[in-house]
Structure 1
Amino acid sequence: MALRRGPVAVVALLATLILAVFVVQAGGIAHFVGSEDRATVTITDGDEELAVVDSEVADGSRERYTGLSDHESLAEDEGMLFVFENEDERSFVMRDMAFPLDILFIDADGRITTIHEAPTEEGSDLTSYRGEAKWVLEVNYGYADERGIEEGDRVDIEYR
């Protein structure tokens, strides 16, 4: 016996296909399904809170590519949190940046693996800042040093 598909089933199938295409184009993360535009990132050394960063979230491929290059500056406790699906070796450059940054690489367990101080650069030979990470947090240049943030410190992320 053959199954008949009515107009509702056809519309549901088309909607599912369109959603799948959107998710792939958005870098594998659908922004309207549980993802948030901002996060509070709290950094501790195990005993003491070192910093709380109000962060924009970059969880799509376009957002991650642009990063903070469309910003003129950041407020003192602001940053951008780059979100990836899994932990891997990551590489960041200071493409078209108007101000220098600290780049903190965070593993899947919420530990800072690497911290880079990244000055602004011009030209085609950009420095590549690398680290093992599921998340990468960019904050103002010197922020980590001023707050006593070090590799191994713990990071807690609360999306909102």
Structure 2
Amino acid sequence: MAPGRTSRLLLLSGVVLVVAVVLVGLGVLPQLWGDDRAEVRIVGDDGATKATVDAEVADTPRERYVGLSDHDSLEPGEGMLFVHATEGERTYVMRDMDFDIDIIFVGADGEITTIHHARAPGPSEDGEDLRYTGQAKWVLEVPAGTVEEAEIEVGDEIRIDDG
């Protein structure tokens, strides 16, 4: 193969790779590697684990938008971990939700910043007006009552094991 042709093929391959990575990040293409689950441990000041959550990971714009709205329920010990690139003020809504949840906002340092007990929308609500805000890089949604039962508090930390 001629040297000029080899260079063009390498350049084209690089461009295709970059475009694919961007499309996966935007949620246009599915991620073809890794598991979309993570074990999240919530740890108190004394270092003891208060709760362990088997979390589905929502790390693309599309997954974060849909969230748990396509789930009928969550079993104890299950949840969804929303991953953002940076810490910032995040607002979550209960769009099309069928069940109550606890929403745990976590800063970039892994410390819980805010906790909300979120109710499912009523018969005449779509959930867009049920808004919950906190400072977070990660947001963990768990079944309603988990926070109270495990005595989870602002200031506790999360530890994520994504395999």
TM norm structure 1: 0.87
CA distance in 1, matches of 2:127, 2:133: 18
The one of 141, 145, 150 equivalent to 2:144 is 141
Q: What code does the residue aligned with 2:37 have?
A: R
Deviation digits for residues 93-126 of structure 1, max 9, x if unmatched? 0001111111000001100000001101123652
The residue number in structure 1 matching 2:45 is 46
- State the Cα RMSD in Å: 2.2
Q: 1:24-43 maps to which residues of 2 (within 5 A)?
A: 24-27=22-25, 31-32=31-32, 36-43=35-42
For structure 2, which runs of at least 5 residues remain unmatched after alignment? none
The residue number in structure 2 matching 1:112 is 112
The residue number in structure 2 matching 1:16 is 14
Q: Is the 8 A contact 2:93 2:128 kept in 1?
A: no
Q: Secondary structure of 1:137's partner?
A: strand
CA distance in 2, matches of 1:61, 1:125: 17
Q: Is the 8 A contact 1:80 1:138 kept in 2?
A: yes
The one of 150, 153, 162 equivalent to 1:150 is 153
Q: What code does the residue aligned with 1:14 have?
A: L
For residues 126 and 49 of structure 1, do their structure 2 counterparts lie closer, same or farther at Cα, with a shift above 3 Å needed? same
Q: Is the 8 A contact 2:55 2:80 kept in 1?
A: yes
Deviation at 1:22, TM superposition (A): 3.3
Q: Is the 8 A contact 2:108 2:137 kept in 1?
A: yes
Q: Is the 8 A contact 1:26 1:62 kept in 2?
A: no
Question: Which runs of structure 1 show a deviation greater than 4 angstroms over 4 or more consecutive aligned residues?
Answer: none
Q: Which has the higher helix share?
A: 2
Q: How many residues align?
A: 156
Deviation digits for residues 7-37 of structure 1, max 9, x if unmatched? 4x4343333323333333344688346x541
The percentage of aligned residue pairs carrying the same residue is 48
Deviation at 1:65, TM superposition (A): 0.5
